[in-house]
Amino acid sequence: MNLLNDSLGREFHEFHVTTTTVSNEWRDGEMGEGIADQGIAHEDPCNLWPPNRRWYMVAVAGTSLSLISLITNLLIARVLLSAKRGHFFFLGLLAVADSFISSMYGPVIAMDIIKERLGSVWLSQVYLWYVGPMLALCHTTMTLSCFLIILATLERLLITQKAMCLPSFRRHRAAWAIFMGCMALLLKGPMYFEIELQKNPYNCTGTAEFVAGMTDIVQTFVYGAVFKFYIRNLATVFIPFIVLAYMNFRIVRTLQKQRHSAEMFRFACSEHKKKVRSATRLLVFIVCSYLIANVLNLVITAWEYISPESTQSEEYYDIYEIMTDIVSVLFIFTCATRLFVYCSCNKEIRDMVKLYLCGLTAGDKPSKKRYTVSNSQRSTNASGTPFDRVAVAVARRLVLEPGSKDEQSPLHSVVYANSHVAKNASQI
């Protein structure tokens, strides 16, 4: 296992890859971190037969969820990435990223267990040949997904706060997405240069003859300790978690205040405001699901930093392995349930998905519908703006008081005129 020693800022030790290698890498992106030394976790270092628990959890359940996630996220991307749905731009890009990650789960994660289950030497060699570059690409995309959620949450926070910089932020959505893509590539792209194919030091044969090892660059203090362990973990695990939790809290508090004000003055909610609040609730739910799915990842990362030796001990290794497997499957489960979350939380997306599944195309002419306004809506609109309705309500109370008999006053005229307009509107 690659650990950081005390004398060189916890510099990485020599490690040996076991069946938990890629599953741990899928979780935290640190090839070699959280990987058991075969001499500690296994009596026979050449026996890589995966336990039944990992087979059913990671290979069977995880692969099934990845297929569902691939289909649903492709549907989401097709629906949201249209010229008329600019306000769902970041969520559309998130669906594209999730589609790619879901398509890579089987070849990168499940294949690590399948090749050992089948005992295929050629499949193992092919897997070790492509796993390094694909792992770096997958983690770059996973980091981009996290950054896209941050951008979508930031836009929603600006909307709820009615910030002055909101129009400028919307005009530069694509630039922000490209910037976050470059940041993700800068943080996780170097993983491509960290992994190389090495011969198993235990002189094993068959599927265990070669393992994925670390290059010399990882052994340096500046890259291995400062950048790889501290900067990368802070920028991709801890800081996004804290930022999303804070912005989510601000959005929820703002929605609560707006709802309280609307209930206090009995303001009617326009259709536009309903869509804004629906989209806000949707994003709040997305952020909450992300935070819940990454709480365990946060705990494991902190555990590896505080006591890395205990993660590989005989007493705690099974717990550590189960937790890393759960995080891997939980990430795919979150991606697979996005369509359900979108449709249940946002009526606009639900209607768009229905139209697409029913075979309607962008060139179809919508049927002409006759919209009618209810009597209560006419009565409400007759009073003007919400502030006008408040003023009329106060005036009506003063007019209807027992001691008020001056029917020629301007106050009486305003109240009776408003009542007359409302009565005529109800008869239309």
Domain boundary among the residues 329, 357, 385 is at 357
User: Binning pLDDT at 50, 70 and 90, where does residue 196 land?
Assistant: confident
User: Exposed, middle or buried, 101 (CB in 10 Å: 0-12/13-18/19+)?
Assistant: buried
Residues 6 or more apart whose CB falls under 8 angstroms from that of 234 comprise: none
47 vs 34, 43, 44, 50, CA distance in Å? 19, 8, 5, 9
Whether residue 2 is predicted with pLDDT greater than 70 in this model: the reply is no
Alpha-carbon distance of 322 to 171, in angstroms, equals 45
User: Exposed, middle or buried, 49 (CB in 10 Å: 0-12/13-18/19+)?
Assistant: middle
Residues 320 and 379 reside in one and the same domain: no
Are the CB atoms for 24 and 324 separated by under 8 Å? Answer: yes
Among 12-16, 163-167, 265-269, 311-315, the range scoring the smallest mean pLDDT is 12-16
Residues 175 and 247 reside in one and the same domain: yes
pLDDT of residue 36: 36
Q: For residue 1, is it within any domain? A: no
Residues 349 and 382 reside in one and the same domain: no
Q: For residue 364, is it within any domain? A: no
Alpha-carbon distance of 323 to 297, in angstroms, equals 8
Give the type of residue at 37.
Answer: D
Domain boundary among the residues 304, 322, 357 is at 357
Residues 161 and 279 reside in one and the same domain: yes
167 vs 83, 184, 186, CA distance in Å? 17, 25, 29
* DSSP E strand boundaries for 19-160: none
Are the CB atoms for 187 and 135 separated by under 8 Å? Answer: no
pLDDT in tens, 239-254: 998 998 898 888 888 8
Alpha-carbon distance of 257 to 265, in angstroms, equals 12
User: What is the DSSP secondary-structure string of 171-208?
Assistant: HTHHHHHHHHHHHHHHHHGGGGGTEEEEE-TT---GGG
Counting the structural domains of the chain, the total is 2
Are the CB atoms for 195 and 215 separated by under 8 Å? Answer: yes
389 vs 238, 381, 393, 410, 427, CA distance in Å? 49, 9, 6, 17, 20
**CATH code of 314's domain:** 1.20.1070.10
Q: For residue 331, is it within any domain? A: yes
Are the CB atoms for 268 and 376 separated by under 8 Å? Answer: no
pLDDT of residue 428: 42
Residues 244 and 166 reside in one and the same domain: yes
Residue with more model confidence, 405 or 311: 311
Residues 145 and 269 reside in one and the same domain: yes
Q: For residue 38, is it within any domain? A: yes
227 vs 11, 13, 217, CA distance in Å? 12, 16, 11
Alpha-carbon distance of 110 to 100, in angstroms, equals 15
Domain boundary among the residues 328, 357, 386 is at 357
| Mean per-residue pLDDT of the chain | 74
pLDDT of residue 107: 92
Q: For residue 74, is it within any domain? A: yes
Residue with more model confidence, 406 or 14: 406
Residues 256 and 284 reside in one and the same domain: yes
Residues 419 and 345 reside in one and the same domain: no
Alpha-carbon distance of 283 to 89, in angstroms, equals 13
Whether residue 178 is predicted with pLDDT greater than 70 in this model: the reply is yes
pLDDT, mean of residues 153-170: 89
Q: For residue 5, is it within any domain? A: no
Q: For residue 76, is it within any domain? A: yes
pLDDT in tens, 357-404: 887 554 454 444 443 444 444 444 444 555 555 555 655 555 555 555
Residues 139 and 182 reside in one and the same domain: yes
Domain hosting 385: range is 375-426
Residues 230 and 110 reside in one and the same domain: yes
